[in-house]
């Protein structure tokens, strides 16, 4: 069964600190993996999208990694800011029908 | 990136009435759009896939007669919640992709409250 699991479920860190969010998936065949940021009451906004051959992709202070062999991905946030408080969702695209398989998200809270 | 506009951003309606939500891709054509529902503290749940010029494909458990989807053009899809009930209160989000394996762009969402 195609699944995407994220950890931790929630995370609280102090402003300025770094953090890493995890994503494990069992989607097969694999097309691509995406990380989205969703502010409360808003639609998701894309951070990164990685295909099978990409190991790392950065978007400002966000760096995503992908290990297609172990089917794991991580999102690293550097020098966190208060505006980083949001839910971060890992989404994997099924290569057979391009359906998006959604993780439950990690709720990140940045405290001053 | 590309822009998907969703309207209205919030709506309050009485039980038994119908509500229409619009989703527009502003700077690209989307033969396929997606409608999601999100309950508090949960991730997005795909409700249906909207195909331009043909019937929508609904996910298991989603009532097609209650959630009417019309994809009238390559840039517009609408979701109508018919005979709304309080349990239909939720956050509805649309998404559009220029093609199936490309980036998905999301609308800002519609908060529906049925009283």
Task: Summarize pLDDT for B38-91 with one digit per residue, the tens.
Answer: 988 788 899 999 888 888 999 999 999 999 999 888 899 999 999 999 999 999
CA distance B35 to chain A (A): 12
Separation CA B74–CA B99 (nearest Å): 12
Q: Tell me the Cα Rg of chain A.
A: 13
Binning pLDDT at 50, 70 and 90, where does residue B1 land?
Answer: low
Give per-residue pLDDT as tens, A20-39.
999 999 999 999 999 999 99
In this structure, how many other beta carbons lie within 10 angstroms of the beta carbon of residue A66? 24
CB contact under 8 A, A89 and B108: no
Side-chain-side CA neighbours of residue A35 (13 Å): 28
In this structure, how many other beta carbons lie within 10 angstroms of the beta carbon of residue B22? 16
Is residue B59 within 8 Å of residue B48, measured between CB atoms?
Answer: yes
Is residue A36 within 8 Å of residue A88, measured between CB atoms?
Answer: yes
B50-75 burial, b at 16+ Cβ within 10 Å, e below that, comes to bebeeebebeeebeeeebbbebeebb
CB contact under 8 A, B107 and A103: no
Residues of B in CB contact (< 8 Å) with A are 1, 4, 6, 34, 41-46, 91, 93, 95, 100-101, 103-109, 111
A70-97 burial, b at 16+ Cβ within 10 Å, e below that, comes to ebebbbebeebeeebbbbbbbbbbbeee
Give the residue among A20, A73, A16, A83 at the shortest CA–CA distance from A48: A73
Q: What tokens were used for B95?
A: 């998404």
In what helix (H) or strand (E) does residue A50 lie, and over which residues does it extend?
strand A45-51
* Percent of chain B clearing pLDDT 70 (strictly above): 97
């Amino acid at each position: 069964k195609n699944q995407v699991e994220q950890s931790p479920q929630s995370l609280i860190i102090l402003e300025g600190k770094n953090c890493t969010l995890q994503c494990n998936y069992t989607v097969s065949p694999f097309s691509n993996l995406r990380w989205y940021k969703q502010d409360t009451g808003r639609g998701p906004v894309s951070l990164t999208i990685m295909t099978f051959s990409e190991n790392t992709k950065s978007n400002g202070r966000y760096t995503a990694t992908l290990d297609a062999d172990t089917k794991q991905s991580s999102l690293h946030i550097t020098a966190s800011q208060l505006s980083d408080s949001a839910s971060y969702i890992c989404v994997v695209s099924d290569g057979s029908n391009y359906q998006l398989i959604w993780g439950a998200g990690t709720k990140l809270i940045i405290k001053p | 990136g590309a822009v998907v506009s969703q309207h209205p951003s919030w709506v309050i309606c009485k039980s038994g009435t119908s509500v229409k939500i619009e989703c527009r891709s502003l700077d690209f054509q989307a033969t396929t759009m997606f409608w999601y529902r999100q309950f508090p503290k949960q991730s997005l749940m795909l409700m249906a896939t909207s195909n331009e010029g043909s019937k929508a494909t609904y996910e298991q458990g989603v009532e097609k007669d209650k959630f009417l989807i019309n994809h009238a053009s390559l840039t517009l899809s609408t979701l109508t919640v018919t005979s709304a009930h309080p349990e239909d209160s939720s956050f509805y989000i649309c998404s559009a992709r220029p093609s199936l394996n490309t980036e998905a762009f999301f609308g800002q969402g519609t908060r529906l409250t049925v009283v």
